[in-house]
Amino acid sequence: MANQKVPQATAERLPLYYRSLQHLVSNGKTRISSSEFGKIVQIDSTTIRKDFSYFGALGRKGYGYNTQHLMEFLKKILYQDELSKVILIGVGHLGTALLNHNFRKNNNTQIVRAYDKNPEKTGKTIGGTEIHPMDALRTDDNSDITAAILTIPADQAQSVAEQAMASGIRGFLNFSPVRLSLPADVYVRHVDMTVELQSLIYFLNHSMEERQSSR
């Protein structure tokens, strides 16, 4: 691997590359050029070549990329050759949907435990995952858990994240509409669906206005 720091934008594209390569390999595609791959993932081929260059020579000029080799390389880089255990905190509508799905298309990630403060939900099982009382989060040992998914109200997110962190969690996928204030060694990905939808509406309307003004 090349001794270069991989930019965050590149790291965020790697899962998309990996998923697309899985599909290509399963369909019998053995090699692919950056331009052809760019059309599939809808990313400029120059960006793709730049992204892969951080990891050394993954392709050959005039040949392109061996899809099986590239997929296996990304699998290792993304730690997809080992099981990533995840917990879910908050079993509301979104949490229930996530439990029912439970990464069924990804055998390397699994929600192994869920927490909720509603006593009517605790002790039950959804999608094969048992729901534990929220108070148990204070005493459970979650040091072997890769990350926690937060699907709880904004006013509870900070305190619950701190409890989860004390139990051993060092990564969060936060669906709560609030920014968490956690130590620098704790990694947080915020997923605000309202913000994402507002951005989508902006770009759609902006694009429409540009097309109308160019007529």
Q: Is 64 annotated as a binding residue?
A: no
Contact indicator for 109, 82 with CB cutoff of 8 Å = no
Q: Is 171 annotated as a binding residue?
A: no
For 129, the enclosing helix (H) or strand (E) is strand 129-133
Round to whole Å and give the CA distance between 90 and 196.
Answer: 21
- The β-bridge relationship of strands 129-133 and 125-126 is antiparallel
Helix (H, G, I), strand (E, B) or coil at 116: strand
Q: Is 95 annotated as a binding residue?
A: yes
Helices H / strands E in the chain, number of each: 7, 9
Bridge partners of 114?
A: 88, 131
Other beta carbons within 10 Å of 36: 14
Q: Is 92 annotated as a binding residue?
A: yes
Q: Is 127 annotated as a binding residue?
A: no
Burial class (CB in 10 A: 0-12, 13-18, 19+), 137: buried
Other beta carbons within 10 Å of 46: 11
Q: Is 91 annotated as a binding residue?
A: yes
Residue 30 tokens read as 């053995």
Contact indicator for 93, 126 with CB cutoff of 8 Å = no
- Measured in whole angstroms, how far is the alpha carbon of residue 214 from the centre of its chain? 38
Query: Which segments are annotated as binding site for NAD(+)?
Result: 90-95
Query: Which segments are annotated as binding site?
Result: 90-95
